[in-house]
Structure 1
Amino acid sequence: MLRMDIVTERRIKMTYKEFEMQVKTYLEENLGADVTVSTYTARKNNQTLCQGLLIEDASDGERFSASPVIYLDDFYRDLCNGSSFEEIAKTIYKLYRNAKQTGDFKLKDLTNFEELKEKIIYKLINLDMNKDLLDDIPYIPYLDLAIVFYCCIANTDEQTAGFLIHNSHLDLWGIQQNELYKYAHKNTCRLFPYSLQSVCATLNEMSENLTAPLSVMPEEDLLVLTNQSRIDGAACILYDNMLEKIAEVLQEDFYVIPSSIHELLILRKHLSPEEGGLSELITSVNQTTVLDTDILSSHPYYYDRNLHTLKCA
């Protein structure tokens, strides 16, 4: 997602591993004897690995089938940028408590599709960069991308929580992929309404410390398409008539620039650089600015408003 970071040089007080162990100790001391905290490595989008802490509560017995994982990368970055360990540890503790309240699903909840069908959503990821993952999960090809499915357990201002749906879940629930897509499409549009606005407006919303609004380009020269949570917002391109709505606003063909899995940039055709220029720009930004796990694609897409078609450019 679009971010503006100002990083000052600071002396890092502990390594990541030391930070991980101190957080683990803090949670073990404050969550009680029934709670076990262990290090956990998850395979995430684009074959990246993410480090976290898996928290299991023995007092739940077999009822609690979905244990929270707290990922630490962003918290360690906060530590390096000056936040105190005590402040970070308390935040992580609060996140776990909130996760227990919102995500405490009994086993029967996770095996009964009727209990989950209103929580099924979809996301967009790169197809080629996730071939191994796609062997194990239901997906629908979309150009050179893939529509994948999640169960969204929690969606609040403070946290989002859920799990990736695998082929084994379809067998467990006794449903087909087309039924999964039907619910995912309806729920994603409902739970994550789209946002389409200028880059300037987006930056103004995200930059709390600016004393004056940004105004570096005409209002509609470059638009940002995402959802109101600004998480996995690239999937908004799949919403009903979304491309047609954008074409109606711009009154011309346009390019879709895959900024990340979280948002897309919309550029008018007549403002596009020479052939190949957009791909070079996207590749450069992916290599220098976008986290590996957030990369969506390395080239733009072109929408023809007369043919109502989107294609790789």
Structure 2
Amino acid sequence: MEKSANGEKMLPADYDKLDYEEIKDRLCITLHSKEQRIEQLKGNLSMDIEGTDLTAAIRIFTGKKDNENGYFGIEPRYLETWGKTLEEVYQQALQNMPRLFPLRIMEMDEMIGRLIFGLDDVEQDSESLEIEFEPYKMYVLSNDTKTDGAAAILYPGLLEKLASNMQSNIFILPSSEHETLLTKDTGEISARDWQSVVIQANQQLFSQDILSDEVYCYDYQEHMLKMVTDPEQTKELRAQLQQMCCCVDATGANTQEYEEEDYGEEQ
């Protein structure tokens, strides 16, 4: 097993001799923040997602075990070996995704209920999917293993179909690298408002699971995915929320100390 300098499992050297046709049906992608994962993805074949701060790492799927997905990373030099362009390999990986990692999308309350009662997910087909978002409700989008499921937002035609069904834009909140939250853009809640939710939720995650602090939107009229928050303003908002959090923590500590003093006097 070969590994890159950052520990990424890479395609073994003898795969130079492997025909592209033999591995093309196992090509897949995982979705990451370009900035946060820059070191880990260094030397790995990847495609930046236009108009966002995200990048799709292109990998070879090796199998599933205990709801974990196995991959080999691919070095860019294999493009020359296979006689393929980055775009060709990326598009092949995208086409494979719904088959390798069937999507799962459900309203958040339903998902929580299924978790509580131990119910299995309902199998869904991205091509025949019929779902229309109710205003103000959140829908969880992932895959069948709930691992690396954020990549489902790139499944061919999925966001376009969902947005077309409701004739509305869709806000996409990056819950983690494993899932995203989708909600109908009613025009009443701004991207900035949703971003506060995203940043505060990310503060509860392990750093390796964070996808982004930005908010995205699928525009059903322009037929495109785009980032609708500004990275510079994101830094300011993140600092404001962290300061508020520190103030709350300090207030809580002072309150606890005061209560302990009162309790001591009563004793």
TM-score range, shorter chain: 0.5 to 0.7
Which consecutive aligned stretches of 4+ in structure 1 deviate over 6 angstroms post-superposition? none
Q: In the alignment, is residue 307 of structure 1 matched against residue 222 of structure 2?
A: yes
Unaligned 5+ segments in structure 1 are 1-40, 45-53, 55-64, 67-105, 211-217
Cα distance in structure 2, aligned partners of 1:309 and 1:280: 24
Alignment equivalent of 1:254, drawn from 163, 170, 193: 170
Match of 1:230 in 2: 146
Question: What TM-score do you get using the length of structure 2 for normalisation?
Answer: 0.66
Q: Give matches, 1:95-244, under 5 Å.
A: 107=14, 111-142=18-49, 143-157=52-66, 159-208=68-117, 221-244=137-160
Q: Deviations over 1:80-116 (max 9, x none)?
A: xxxxxxxxxxxxxxxxxxxxxxxxxx95697443332
Question: What TM-score do you get using the length of structure 1 for normalisation?
Answer: 0.57
CA shift for structure 1 position 157: 5.0
- 1:110 to 1:188, Cα distance in 2 relative to 1, 3 A: farther
Q: Give matches, 1:46-65, under 5 Å.
A: none
Match of 1:281 in 2: 197
- 1:159 to 1:255, Cα distance in 2 relative to 1, 3 A: closer
CA shift for structure 1 position 140: 1.6
CA shift for structure 1 position 286: 1.0
CA shift for structure 1 position 152: 0.7
CA shift for structure 1 position 132: 3.5
- 1:274 to 1:171, Cα distance in 2 relative to 1, 3 A: closer
Unaligned 5+ segments in structure 2 are 120-133, 229-267
Cα distance in structure 1, aligned partners of 2:183 and 2:227: 15
Is 1:234–1:260's contact at 8 Å kept on the other side of the alignment? yes
Equivalent pairs counted in the alignment come to: 208
Cα distance in structure 2, aligned partners of 1:187 and 1:260: 22
CA shift for structure 1 position 121: 0.5
Cα distance in structure 2, aligned partners of 1:107 and 1:227: 31
- 1:158 to 1:138, Cα distance in 2 relative to 1, 3 A: closer
Cα distance in structure 1, aligned partners of 2:139 and 2:146: 14
Is 1:121–1:150's contact at 8 Å kept on the other side of the alignment? yes
- 1:158 to 1:283, Cα distance in 2 relative to 1, 3 A: closer
Is 1:224–1:264's contact at 8 Å kept on the other side of the alignment? yes
Moved more, 109-118 or 257-266: 109-118
Q: Deviations over 1:104-153 (max 9, x none)?
A: xx956974433322111012111122333454122221121111111111
CA shift for structure 1 position 312: 1.2
- 1:43 to 1:220, Cα distance in 2 relative to 1, 3 A: farther
- 1:156 to 1:133, Cα distance in 2 relative to 1, 3 A: closer
Cα distance in structure 2, aligned partners of 1:128 and 1:178: 22
